């Protein structure tokens, strides 16, 4: 199993999964992390720029953890059988560990549908 985590700054879980180009990819075997690699995509392979009908480097993952994404990307990932989870957790390692333990708090941190037309602010409660 593979779990990808959006981390544009390579340190924390970041928002805007559709525009993110850096992902920590965790290899999981028997419920344990066996490897962690950084996947860096060229801009044309970001979800925002690439076609949902073509293969994608993240097609091999089963779970994508992010701080925020829009409904379009949620549907795109679901169509590929990828579970998309949004969380307020900021540490990638902690989020993956919590997911594996069944304790990851996933919320509806999706971006506003019109986010591409204007700047917006996220409120975390």
Instruction: Look at residue 52 and tell me if it is in a domain.
Output: yes
Average pLDDT, the chain: 88
Instruction: Look at residue 73 and tell me if it is in a domain.
Output: yes
Which tens digits make up the pLDDT trace of 14-63? 999 999 999 999 999 999 999 999 999 999 999 999 999 999 999 999 99
Read off the pTM: 0.85
Instruction: Look at residue 113 and tell me if it is in a domain.
Output: no
Instruction: Look at residue 115 and tell me if it is in a domain.
Output: no
**Structural domain of residue 14, as residue ranges?**
2-107
For residue 82, the domain's CATH number is 3.30.420.130
Residue pointed to by tokens 């979800």: 47
Question: What order of strands is seen across the sheet that includes strand 106-107?
Answer: 32-40, 22-29, 2-6, 63-66, 83-87, 106-107
Q: pLDDT band for position 108 (50/70/90)?
A: low
């Amino acid at each position: 199993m593979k779990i990808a985590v959006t981390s544009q700054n390579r340190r924390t879980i970041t928002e805007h999964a559709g525009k993110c180009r850096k992902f920590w990819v965790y290899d999981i075997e028997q419920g344990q992390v066996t490897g962690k690699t950084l996947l860096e995509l060229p801009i044309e392979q970001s979800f925002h720029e690439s076609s949902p009908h073509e293969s994608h480097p993240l097609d091999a993952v089963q779970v994508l953890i992010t701080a925020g994404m829009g409904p379009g990307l949620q549907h795109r990932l679901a169509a590929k059988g990828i579970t998309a989870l949004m969380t307020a957790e900021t540490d990638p390692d902690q989020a993956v560990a919590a997911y594996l333990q069944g304790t990851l708090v996933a919320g509806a941190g999706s971006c506003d549908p019109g986010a591409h037309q204007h700047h917006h602010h996220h409120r975390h409660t």
